Amino acid sequence: MNAAAAAAGPAAATEILHDPDRRLWLLSGPRTSYLIALREHDILVNLYWGPRISLADAAEISDGHLAGGASSFGAAGDGREEYPVDGGPRFAQPALAVQRGTVRGIEWTHRGASAEGTGLRLDFHDAGHALDIALHYRLRPGHDILERWTELTYHGAPAAPEEFTAADAPLELLRADAAAWPVPARDGYRLSRLHGRWAAETQLTRGPLARGTTVLASRYGHTSHAENPWFALDDGTADEEHGEVWSAALAWSGSWRIAVQQLSNDAVQAVGGPGHDDSGVARLEPGESYTSPVFAGLYSDGGHGAASRAWHAWQRAHIVPDADQVRPVLYNSWEATGFDLTEQGQKDLATLAAGLGVELFTTDDGWFGERVNDRAGLGDWTPNPDRFPDGLAPLAEHVRSLGMKFGIWVEPEMVNPDSELYRAHPEWAQHRPGRRRTEMRNQLVLNVAREDVQEYLFQQLDALLSSAPIDFVKWDMNRPFTDAGWPGEPYPRRLYLDHTRGVYRIMDRLRSAHPGLAIESCSGGGGRIDLGVLQRTDQVWTSDNTDPLDRLTIQHGFSQIYPARVMCAWATDSPNWLNGRVTSQRYRMRSAMAGVLGLGGDLTECSEEELAELAERVAEYKTVRHLVQLGELYRLRGTGDGTTVVEYAAADGAEAVVLGWRQGPHFGASAPRVRLRGLDASARYRTADGKAEHSGSVLMRHGLELAELKGEELSSTLVHLVRV
């Protein structure tokens, strides 16, 4: 057992307990508890979210909870409700708002509860709208992440009073969030969020939570570069290893909104779900149901570092496919060839890549249709006959013969006006009648909400994957929605929801039809990274920005919620294509070693010495990749002072790897010393090269000097420690 686990003590069993007299439920993970209870008018409130407590403790908390605090300008339940609805004396942001005919508002009654294993379902009913509302909770054994989602079923039967509309009238879901997260009262709150833009994704920002409503959202039609659907709250004192942190993440890859509210009664609550505004999510006909995506939450009293490690472990165990297997070292041909690719040129690159120890060779854009530039070909997913006269099979078989897997780039949701697909089906592109079709990057967005579009894309991609031994697909999306219209559709707003569902459906069908297929999520870099897409992809493209120094900041923010196991990072040529920065090959490679290592430079321009060093660095990465991708992450030094240090430790403390980067020694500063985490204090550790040996206690309490970070500008280090 490592030091962190020993200090925390043994984990308790995951369980859901019920006190029927007090109408409360206590959901407990290994180290945390979440307490909810029904109050007057069947209002469901949160009474506690923090370190694990007993049912007796829960009863005492419930008995001491007083409803008071209401006035003509406030409601007692504001900020404490588990699922605030539009209607009645509520002034917080509602999670659910519906309209049937001209009637709005929800008045529910509790219908019952059922628990199965570590899952809980609470049922409510609104008689006026003939609407069933089921609130779902789930804890996975061994994890403290609480998964929540909501299911709505509309029956269509009218009820008194008479002003309710006809039985067959549809019910519009103006807002249908997954959950609300009430946060316990503290003296102050600090909000952590991930914002950014293209080439500058997942920038971590922490600052005081403003009173009122802070909205995190995407109206882009995908997760977006601008915001990521995750947030964390603390009282302003939490650091990497100490303090209380509450965080939540939405598992959705389309437009979304999370509203974090600090109300006039000082309560803090966040609601979140699909859709960027209140103009409508879905419309239900009688007998139809809607199920929201999961909105997952976590409490940790071990600071932001422990929260990240809990998120990572849960995703590797229950979200990411095959996450117990390390991802291969990848080479991508884009920066070497751009659109100017040939079958022989790709074979030559593959031969060079195999000599470096690369395990997955990927041919990027330009292999299909009339795709000789970015103005044509999207939508025509058959190999270009001039470049690949016999299809992709000869190239794929050559790659396989070199001992590597073979992958391709696709952008299924897009279409160029100059394509066979668009000429045959211009109506398949998102557009609004009488309005200009906005082109970005010379392309339009297909309406993947349409079932015929879904079927076309599946058939095209299925045939492609069946035509050659293709192991990997880089699924890109290089522009957002702009003209999200659907002529002829009675409820065109559903495009936002059903486009994303359609993408999920195609991915799921392809994985089922082609066992072993791996998918990388890409959207102009990191524009589609979230817990929803990660359920059906093996890794994500973190950013188009491959500058190794910029990437450290991007990767730091990424690691707050997402594990290194899914973070694809490339080492490319110097000077960097984006900003012209000149860096050493060692620095570039070690920056990329913090995740799933990829190479993306032009290997044909490398000298023999450069190729030899690349091979050496690939071999170096392979000795520690099991720790990077599957180990526990400790952020030892952030990016604020120009020095970044991360540690990946085995869960049992048997070994660890320390990666460090420094912009340069300032004012004659000495080499940094970092105190490690997650080791066995009673053991001794030897560096993998056999040159040094250290006490685990000394490494954690006194620290490890990173001598390689004392010298030149943009220096890096890698120290692999193994328990003796």
Which of 173, 174, 192 has its CA nearest to residue 260?
Answer: 192
**Of all helices (H) and strands (E), which one includes residue 79?**
none
Supply the pLDDT for residue 667. 75
Report DSSP state, residue 83.
Answer: S
What would the mean pLDDT of 502-526 be, rounded to a whole number? 98
Task: Tell me the H-state helices in 432-493.
Answer: 451-467
Q: What are the distances in angstroms from CA 84 to CA 89, 124, 151, 626? A: 10, 13, 15, 44
Mean of the pLDDT values across residues 25-46?
A: 97
434's CB contacts (< 8 A; 6+ apart) are none
Could you tell me the pLDDT band of residue 307, with boundaries at 50, 70 and 90? Answer: very high
79-318: in CATH 2.70.98.60: yes
| Amino acid in position 539 | Q
**Topology of domain 330-629, CATH:** TIM Barrel (3.20.20)
From the list 523, 521, 557, the residue with the least C-alpha distance to 539 is: 521
Q: In the predicted model, what is the mean pLDDT of residues 620-627?
A: 98
The DSSP-derived string for 557-579 is: HHTTTS-GGGEEEEE--SS-TTT
Q: How far, in Å, CA of 530 to CA of 86, rounded? A: 28
Give the separation between CA 370 and CA 650, rounded to whole angstroms.
Answer: 49
Residue matched to tokens 């559903």:
494
> What average pLDDT score do residues 7-17 get?
78
* Model pLDDT, residue 161: 57
pLDDT for position 74:
66
The helix or strand, by DSSP H or E, that contains position 425, with its residue range, turns out to be: none
pLDDT at 613 over 80: yes
* 386 known member of a binding site: no
DSSP three-state, residue 527: coil
166 band by pLDDT with thresholds 50, 70 and 90:
confident
pLDDT value at 10 more than 80: no
Nearest to 496 by CA among 193, 724, 175, 206: 175
CB 301 within 8 A of CB 185: no
Task: Evaluate whether the domain defined by 635-723 bears CATH number 2.60.40.1180.
Answer: yes
Residue 575 has pLDDT above 70, yes or no: yes
Beta bridge partners of 637: 645
Long-range contacts of 117-122 (CB under 8 A, 24+ apart): 118/14, 118/15, 118/16, 119/16, 120/16, 120/25, 120/27, 122/25, 122/44
641 is in an annotated binding site: no
Q: Is 477 annotated as a binding residue?
A: yes
Note the pLDDT of residue 158: 65
**Is 447 annotated as belonging to a binding site?**
no
Q: What is the pLDDT of residues 220-240, one digit of tens each?
A: 999 999 999 999 999 999 999
Q: Is 375 labelled a binding residue?
A: no
With a CB cutoff of 8 Å and minimum separation 6, the contacts of 20 are none
83: closest CA among 214, 153, 177?
Answer: 177
Average pLDDT over residues 319-333: 98
pLDDT band at 123 (very low <50, low <70, confident <90, very high): very high
Instruction: Give the closest residue to 419 by CA, choosing from 363, 388, 375.
Output: 375
Q: Is 50 exposed, middle or buried (0-12, 13-18, 19+ CB in 10 A)?
A: middle
| Cβ atoms 42, 110 nearer than 8 A | yes
Q: Binding site annotation covers 544?
A: yes
Position 641 scores a pLDDT of: 82
pLDDT at 97 over 50: yes
Distance of alpha carbon 457 from alpha carbon 425, whole angstroms: 13
Give the chain's mean pLDDT: 95
**Where are the domains positioned within the chain?**
79-318, 330-629, 635-723
- Establish whether 474 is an annotated binding residue: yes
pLDDT of residue 101: 87
CA dist 533 to 96, 500, 504, Å? 24, 9, 7
Q: What 3-state DSSP class applies to 42?
A: helix
Is 177 one of the annotated binding-site residues?
A: no
pLDDT digits (tens, 9 = 90+) for 167-219: 789 999 999 999 999 999 898 999 999 999 999 999 999 999 999 999 999 99
Is 365 annotated to bind ligand?
A: yes
Instruction: Check residue 668 and give its pLDDT.
Output: 74
Per this entry, what is the length of the chain? 724
Task: Give the model confidence (pLDDT) of 341-350 as tens digits.
Answer: 999 999 999 9
Range name among 41-55, 154-168, 447-461, 586-600 with the lowest pLDDT average:
154-168
Question: Is the pLDDT confidence value at 7 over 60?
Answer: no
Task: List all residues 6 or more positions away from 59 whose beta carbon is below 8 Å from its beta carbon.
Answer: 19, 22, 24
pLDDT at 4 over 60: no
Per-residue pLDDT at 69: 54
The pLDDT score that the predictor gives to residue 239 is 97
More confident residue, 102 or 369: 369
pLDDT of 9:
56
Of the two residues 155 and 71, the one the predictor is more confident about is: 155
Among residues 474, 437, 687, 646, the alpha carbon closest in space to that of 560 is found at: 646
**pLDDT, average across residues 63-73:** 67
pLDDT above 90 for 639: no
Task: Tell me: is residue 380 an annotated ligand-binding position.
Answer: no
Active site residue ranges? 476, 544
pLDDT at 711: 72
Tell me which amino acid residue 423 is.
Answer: R
Is the sign of the CA dihedral 46, 51, 54, 60 positive or negative?
negative
pLDDT at 164 over 80: no
Would you state the structure tokens that stand for residue 516, as one six-digit string? 């072993």
Run of H or E residues at 589:
helix 585-592
Residue 700 has phi, psi (to 5 degrees) of -90, -30
How many whole angstroms separate alpha carbon 674 and alpha carbon 58?
Answer: 41
**Three-class DSSP category at 37:** strand
- Provide the whole-model pTM: 0.97
Q: What is the pLDDT of residue 1?
A: 45
246 known ligand binder: no
Task: Give the integer Cα–Cα distance in Å for 580 and 221.
Answer: 32
pLDDT in tens, 518-544: 999 999 999 999 999 999 999 999 999
The DSSP secondary structure of 230-298, one letter per residue, reads EEEEE-S---SSSB-EEEEEE---SSEEEEEEE-TTS-EEEEEEE-SSSS-SEEE-TT-EEEPPPEEEE
Beta strand 32-38 pairing with 44-51: antiparallel
pLDDT tens track for 266-288: 999 999 999 999 999 999 999 99
